[in-house]
Amino acid sequence: MTGLRWVLLLTIAATSLVAGCDTPAPAADIELGRKVYNFRCYFCHGYSGDARTLAASYLNPRPRDFTTAPPLEREAILQTVRTGRPGTAMKSFSGILSEAELVAVAAFVETEFVQRKAPNTAYHTEANGWPDHQRFRIAFPFVRGEIKLDAAIEALTPAQQQGRQLFLTSCISCHDRAHVNDEGPAWSSRPLSYPRMGFQPGQQTVVDAVSSASVYAKHDVVPVIDGLNPQEKRGEALFQVNCAFCHGADGTGKNWIGQFMEPKARDLTAFTTTEMSAERLSRTIRDGLAGTSMPAWQHVLKPAEIEAVSAYVRRAFVRPAGG
């Protein structure tokens, strides 16, 4: 029996090595990893690990969809979380997360998304203030993209028109422009970046906490600057398409997304030209900023484009020395 037992143990061990299996993570690690993921990772990778997020649509390359092949093993996930992934927006979380948190979030991603394809955390729950979320189901087709938001009104049934109106007055606060047929002027690639829920500029009406977040709206207004030279104009176009998502159109970082991040997106207007030299700014854009969500853009923008963004930022946002 002893010999047979050893044969069985060796067979199981060999099978595990060939299959690349990991030892199942303790439940406590999974739950710690869930908390870390839901705070640090979901914004790009999605609550269910499928990268179907608004942020993902603005990143190139897109964040990884953990639910699709080829599957990642836990050690590979841990290494990426620990060191980042060059050429992408995936930064290193060493120094931000503890070793226990790094290990836990890797275990959570592998277990819940790679292996189980689990839906993870549901946001629209009673605990989150959404009792009976199904009562909004007439708007679900617009959230999921089954009906495009810019579909011809006359082509919609009365119920679908009601669903569209509900989406525009409530759901769009977080789901933004959702799914459209035409990305033209009415649905530009700039995110709305703030909840709208009935808010109208100039109104003094007291609204609910979510709607009151419309104070972020003013930071998504592109400043009008006269006399930009060709390089600065090119930098303006690049900044507003690539950088304003986090830093706001006005460079303050006080838009909806910039204030959500931790640490918060940098307020570019807080620097003087002495503090933020052209060299320092270009280097930060090119190489990223450790310990923040600022990625390296050297694999996305050409050197001349980085210099153009730097020139625009210094002209539009950075204050003159002594100013």
Tens digit of pLDDT for each residue in 243-259?
998 999 999 998 878 88
The count of other CB atoms within 10 Å of the CB of residue 64 is 21
Task: Determine the distance from the C-alpha atom of residue 301 to the mean position of all C-alpha atoms in its chain, rounded to a whole number.
Answer: 19
Please give the structure tokens belonging to residue 292: 């923040």
Which pLDDT score is estimated for 176? Answer: 66
Determine phi and psi for 253, rounding to 5 degrees: 70, 10
Q: Which residues contact 107 (CB under 8 A, 6 or more apart)?
A: 22, 25, 29, 30, 33, 74
Q: Would you report the helix, strand and coil content of the chain in percent, each value rounded to 5? A: 50, 0, 45
Which pLDDT score is estimated for 64? Answer: 92
d(CA 180, CA 182): 6
Encoded amino acid at 67, one letter: T
Confidence at 323, pLDDT banded by 50, 70, 90? low
Please, what CATH class does the domain formed by 230-316 belong to? mainly alpha
Residue 304 has pLDDT above 50, yes or no: yes
- Could you identify the residue written with the tokens 């292996």? 115
Percent of the chain surpassing pLDDT 70: 80
d(CA 165, CA 198): 12
CATH 1.10.760.10 domain locations along the chain: 23-115, 230-316
pLDDT digits (tens, 9 = 90+) for 206-238: 433 334 445 677 888 899 999 999 999 999 999
Q: Shortest CA distance to 317 belongs to which of 237, 253, 238, 227? A: 253
Return the CATH superfamily for domain 23-115: Cytochrome c-like domain (1.10.760.10)
Residue 275 has pLDDT above 60, yes or no: yes
Positive or negative torsion for Cα 34, 37, 39, 44 = negative
Please give the structure tokens belonging to residue 115: 């292996």
96-105, 163-172, 202-211: the lowest-pLDDT one: 202-211
Peptide bond into 195 cis (omega under 30): no
Which pLDDT score is estimated for 128? Answer: 65
pLDDT digits (tens, 9 = 90+) for 108-157: 999 999 999 988 877 777 766 678 888 999 999 998 889 998 888 889 99
**CA-derived radius of gyration, the chain:** 23
d(CA 47, CA 40): 11
pLDDT digits (tens, 9 = 90+) for 25-72: 888 899 999 999 988 898 889 888 998 887 787 788 889 999 986 888
Instruction: Report which of residues 275 and 144 the model is more confident about.
Output: 275
Grouping H, G, I as helix, E, B as strand and the rest as coil, residue 245 is helix
